[in-house]
Amino acid sequence: MKKLRISPPAAALILAVTLFLLSGLLPNGFGSDMSIARAQATNIVRLAVFLGVIAAGQTLVIISGSEGIDLSAGSVVTLTAILAYVMIKGNDSMVLPAIGVVILVGALIGLVNGIGITYLKISPFVMTLGMAGVVKGLIIILNHGNVSGKVAPIMTSIIARPVVFGIPGAILIWVVFGLFMWFLLERTPFGRNLFAIGVNRITSTLSGIHVPRMNLATYSLAGALAGIGGFLLVGNTGVVFISLGDPYLFPSIAAVAVGGTLLSGGKGSYWGTMSGAIVLTLITSLLTTMQMPESVRRMVLGGTLLMLISIYGRQRALRQ
Amino acid sequence: MTVLLSAQNIVKRYGGVIALSDGNLEVSSGEVVALVGANGSGKSTLSKIINGVVVLDGGQLLLDGVPVQFPSPQAARKMGIATVFQELSLIPQMSIAENIWLTREPLHPTGTVDQKEVTERTKRLLKLFEGTFKTELTPDVSVSSLQPDEKQIIEILKAISVDPRILILDEATASLDSRQVSRLFELVATWKLSGKAIIFVSHRMEEIFRIADTYSVLRNGKTVGSGKIKEVTEKELVNLMIEKASVFTHARQNRAGAKELAQKPVYLTVNALATDVLRGVNLQVRRGELLGLGGLMGQGQRELLRSIFGYIHYHGTINILGKDVHYRHPADAIKDRTAFVPGDRGKEGLLYIRSILENILLPSWKEFGVPTRMKKAHEVAVGVGESLNLKMAGLDEPVSSLSGGNAQKVVIGKWLKRKPQLLLLDDPTKGVDVGTKAEFYKLLANLCDEGKTIIFYSSDDEELVGLCDRILVMHDGNIRTELVDRMITKRNLVAASLGASEEEQHE
């Protein structure tokens, strides 16, 4: 007796496609016009890229277990976006150095998170929440005299515009990014050990894994990835403001959960997070198209999240 | 004697897997029935059907000759059936008294908990095991601070506190030391007199013969034999359980005596090893030696193995092949080709929700490079699985799908691939079925013949006596007695564990 088992990422993707097709039936939907449908779909995926990249670091810390979470991701995104903006000043040649700086700054903030969690035994929730506050403070200091800067033309043309076959550069970047994340999780000792410490840290230590080092590396990497997220985001918006990254924080956690990664750690995938980011972006944009008020949008988003996670929970119970 | 409970032709399926196809059990009041069988034979399932944890798919349960159904454990408990679970069901954050009386707290007429009564009754229960605890226990002690054996006893007390008519002891002796087991058996004798029926699920032959009146053997979900324990021998019982009687060869051949050992090179020397439990342990192991660690549970055996593996901080010196080492992390010990099989499979040895493959390769990922050569990794894991005769649906299945014995093979398997020179084993056969045990004994013998050094702690005295070249008996963080050559007898081992002075040359 073989049971059909749909993995959570696939389930999320199927949900996204179904919702999208249904949305065509709406009064102001794409109807039977395939070119509009294609443009809408592309746009939604393009918007999902930023949430998806910001949620990459979140995926890693959540997989690492022991209540791993990064609540400083939103602030790090804002900070690195501002840094990139200020450094580049519309100058294409400053793009590469800026990428280096945002990665470094993000990694440094992540490292401090990791040190607090690993050695001072502060819970990840509290540590990263505190860090979010500290980074916020830094942003205000930086922003005090009103930052002046500009994104480089090359960023806008690559990130925000179509590059080949009408596919926006952001999506291509995301695909490469997704491959990198898959490689990291599935084909490196770091990835294998990350799942291991997420399930059981005693077993991991007794099998020779340096758990504290892994923890530091994971939080640093998460910070660096949030930094890249900030860079991409500013390339898309072209402007910076003090709460630029904030709206991405909770969706980044939700995307990880919707993608089937266990919030308790030890199991999950980045392609799940990618599906999760697409679902969440799709629902938000559909509700906006339907001109739903903010209150309804929030309720529907929250409800979807609860529904999906309860379904995953049931699947697990059935398998035991 | 009247039959109190009778389970007839019980069938239980989990999805496509048939856990029980024809399970039968009968127990009368004032009787102990031993429910025996290898891991995966269905004895856990049968006891879970009797206590209402799982619902049967076919067959029937008769209580006092009347058909009954237990849709929930609470229903079974109301009918007077209590269980001591193998996997502990205690809540660590709560005290002993709170755990025992959970949901059944004696109340004041006003509806609030009668704390005085709770304490009083808990004290009475604790008295049953008085003198067998390492430290005296009081009702307000938090369960999280207890040793495994103490937790197990609280579990027993919790079950008996409802004054059941039928008590199921599911591997309840596995983490108890011999003194605690004896006390439990004395209590069982008094419970029998008061008319209770006891279902005793155990892997330990010696205990079964000590305590049971009747037996019922399960094999592959079927009851294949039952009768009076007096009319059966250990060997016959084992034959019933595993079909192939020949694998049950406890004793290891060509063991080294003291003279032979002295000719082998010293592999490991430990000097004045001290932790918060150990008090300056000295020992020496030679290459190819199988050294046993014995003694009552919790005398520092575990800490000794863990310090040698670099898992806990210690004072003193450890020397391997003439070189002083001081490991700060198990990774250092692993580099020197030391392996450690921890005592608690679930908490320390396995990643339950991850695949068998990942568990086997856990210490070895670095060797497969970046990107990980998955094909090679797969081949290695297949090799390990075959060499250990691992029974599984596939390498990608989670470890949680394996039976206890096969899960333990995975814990051992992750080291075998690395060809360790020194193996530290912390009670590796606990809760493992007889068939797997026999395979495991053979593996140990082979490893020693290949010149590997093994330090082996076991809570099963027969194993130590049957396998080891030499046994060190530990007491209170130190080595109390060394048994060599013909001194290695069960009697000597037990005597030394208990601190009795008399030691005989022969049995």
Q: B358 vs A192: CB contact, 8 Å cut-off?
A: yes
Residues A69 and A57: beta-carbon distance below 8 Å = no
Q: Show Cβ contacts of residue B367 under 8 Å, excluding neighbours closer than 6 positions.
A: none
Q: B362 vs A1: CB contact, 8 Å cut-off?
A: no
- Give the span between the Cα atoms of B493 and B459, in whole angstroms: 11
Max mean pLDDT among A77-81, A240-244, A311-315 falls in A77-81
pLDDT at A273 over 90: yes
Residue-averaged pLDDT of chain B: 87
Shortest Cα distance from B480 to chain A (angstroms)?
A: 28
Cβ neighbours of B202 (radius 10 Å): 20
Shortest Cα distance from B507 to chain A (angstroms)?
A: 40
Q: A187 vs B372: CB contact, 8 Å cut-off?
A: yes
Higher-confidence residue: B304 or A7?
B304
Q: Show Cβ contacts of residue B226 under 8 Å, excluding neighbours closer than 6 positions.
A: B24, B25, B26, B214, B215, B216, B217
Q: B311 vs A209: CB contact, 8 Å cut-off?
A: no
Residues B147 and B180: beta-carbon distance below 8 Å = no
- C-alpha closest to that of B159 among B149, B144, B170, B147: B170
Residues B23 and B42: beta-carbon distance below 8 Å = yes
pLDDT computed for residue B246 by the predictor: 36
* Core vs surface per residue B13-27: b (16+ CB within 10 A) or e: eeeeebbbbbbbbbb
pLDDT computed for residue B489 by the predictor: 80
Where does the pLDDT of residue A317 fall: very low under 50, low under 70, confident under 90, or very high at 90 and above? very low
- Domains defined along chain B, listed by start: 3-243 (3.40.50.300), 249-337+420-507 (3.40.50.300), 348-419 (no CATH)
> Hey, which residues 160-189 in chain A have their CB within 8 Å of chain B?
183, 186-189
The CA-CA-CA angle for residues A78, A53, A155, to 5°, reads 70
pLDDT computed for residue A309 by the predictor: 75
Digit-coded pLDDT (tens) for B330-340:
999 999 999 99
Percent of chain B with pLDDT over 70: 94
The per-residue DSSP string of A13-67 comes to: HHHHHHHHHHHTTSTTS-TT-HHHHHHHHHHHHHHHHHHHHHHHHHHHHHHT-TT
> Hey, which residues 189-208 in chain A have their CB within 8 Å of chain B?
189, 192-193, 195-196, 199-200, 202-208
Long-range contacts of A155-164 (CB under 8 A, 24+ apart): A155/A88, A155/A95, A155/A234, A155/A235, A156/A235, A156/A238, A158/A235, A159/A232, A159/A235, A159/A236, A160/A235, A160/A236, A160/A238
Where does the pLDDT of residue B87 fall: very low under 50, low under 70, confident under 90, or very high at 90 and above? low
Residues A109 and A223: beta-carbon distance below 8 Å = yes
- Measured in degrees and rounded to the nearest 5, phi and psi for residue B149 equal -65, -35
B293 to A37, B110, B425: CA distances (angstroms)? 72, 55, 10
> Hey, which residues 225-244 in chain A have their CB within 8 Å of chain B?
none
- Give the span between the Cα atoms of B503 and B507, in whole angstroms: 10
Of B309, B352, B374, the CB nearest to A199: B352
CA torsion sign, B355 to B361 to B366 to B372? negative
CB contact A212 to B (< 8 Å): no
Residue of A nearest to B307 (CA): A206
Q: B352 vs A200: CB contact, 8 Å cut-off?
A: yes
Which stretches within B342-479 are classed as H helix?
356-361, 374-387, 404-416, 434-449, 461-467
Digit-coded pLDDT (tens) for A159-186:
878 877 888 889 999 999 999 999 999 9
Across the range A143-171, mean pLDDT stands at 82
Higher-confidence residue: A28 or B148?
B148
Q: A210 vs B366: CB contact, 8 Å cut-off?
A: no
Q: A203 vs B347: CB contact, 8 Å cut-off?
A: yes
Shortest Cα distance from B345 to chain A (angstroms)?
A: 9
Shortest Cα distance from B416 to chain A (angstroms)?
A: 13
Range with the poorest average pLDDT among A24-28, B19-23, B199-203:
A24-28
pLDDT computed for residue B299 by the predictor: 85
Residues A124 and A61: beta-carbon distance below 8 Å = yes
Give the count of alpha carbons within 13 A of B312, CB side only: 15
Shortest Cα distance from A260 to chain B (angstroms)?
A: 14
Omega before B371 cis (within 30°)? Answer: yes
Give the domain ranges of chain A: 50-300
Q: How many CB pairs under 8 A join A and B?
A: 81
Q: Show Cβ contacts of residue B247 under 8 Å, excluding neighbours closer than 6 positions.
A: B435, B438, B439
pLDDT computed for residue B424 by the predictor: 96
Of B331, B352, B372, the CB nearest to A188: B372
Where does the pLDDT of residue B498 fall: very low under 50, low under 70, confident under 90, or very high at 90 and above? low
In chain A, residues with a C-beta closer than 8 Å to the C-beta of B330 are 205-208
The neighbouring-strand residues paired with B142 are B95
For the beta sheet containing B422-426, the strands, ordered from the edge strand earlier in sequence to the opposite edge, are B338-341, B422-426, B453-457, B290-294, B470-475, B478-484
In chain A, residues with a C-beta closer than 8 Å to the C-beta of B365 are 189, 192-193
pLDDT computed for residue A4 by the predictor: 54
- Give the span between the Cα atoms of B97 and B115, in whole angstroms: 9
Tokens of B148: 């495994």
Give the count of alpha carbons within 13 A of A155, CB side only: 28
Shortest Cα distance from B257 to chain A (angstroms)?
A: 33
Residue of A nearest to B413 (CA): A207
Residue to mutate among B18, B45, B327, B351, with most A CBs inside 10 A, is B351
CB contact A213 to B (< 8 Å): no
In chain B, residues with a C-beta closer than 8 Å to the C-beta of A203 are 347-351, 362
3-state SS, residue A154: helix
pLDDT computed for residue B248 by the predictor: 38
> To 10 degrees, what angle do helices A8-23 and A270-289 make?
20
pLDDT computed for residue A108 by the predictor: 97
Residue to mutate among A188, A203, A315, with most B CBs inside 10 A, is A203
Of B331, B340, B351, the CB nearest to A200: B351
CB contact A266 to B (< 8 Å): yes
Q: B414 vs A192: CB contact, 8 Å cut-off?
A: no
Of A189, A196, A208, the CB nearest to B334: A208
B437 to B43, B423, B441: CA distances (angstroms)? 18, 17, 6
Across the range B121-143, mean pLDDT stands at 87
In chain B, residues with a C-beta closer than 8 Å to the C-beta of A207 are 330, 334, 362-363, 414
- Measured in degrees and rounded to the nearest 5, phi and psi for residue B122 equal -65, -40
- C-alpha closest to that of B493 among B479, B477, B476, B472: B472
State ipTM.
0.88
Tokens of A81: 């976006």
The CA-CA-CA angle for residues A203, A206, A212, to 5°, reads 85
Across the range B126-133, mean pLDDT stands at 86
pLDDT computed for residue B40 by the predictor: 62
Higher-confidence residue: B173 or B321?
B321
Where does the pLDDT of residue A5 fall: very low under 50, low under 70, confident under 90, or very high at 90 and above? low
- Give the span between the Cα atoms of B491 and B473, in whole angstroms: 13
Residues B33 and B198: beta-carbon distance below 8 Å = yes
Digit-coded pLDDT (tens) for B429-466:
877 877 888 889 989 999 999 999 999 999 777 788 88
For residue B78, the one-letter residue type is K
pLDDT at A226 over 90: yes
**What does the CA dihedral B264, B266, B267, B269 come to, rounded to 10 degrees?**
150
Of A3, A192, A210, the CB nearest to B365: A192
pLDDT at A54 over 60: yes
Residues A90 and A148: beta-carbon distance below 8 Å = no
Digit-coded pLDDT (tens) for B150-162:
888 999 999 999 8
pLDDT computed for residue B250 by the predictor: 62
In chain B, residues with a C-beta closer than 8 Å to the C-beta of A3 are 15
Tokens of A28: 């102001």
Shortest Cα distance from A11 to chain B (angstroms)?
A: 20
Shortest Cα distance from A194 to chain B (angstroms)?
A: 11
Digit-coded pLDDT (tens) for B39-61:
567 888 899 899 898 888 989 99
Q: A206 vs B309: CB contact, 8 Å cut-off?
A: yes
Of A188, A210, A267, the CB nearest to B329: A210
Digit-coded pLDDT (tens) for B251-305:
777 787 888 888 899 999 999 999 988 999 999 999 999 999 998 777 899 999 9
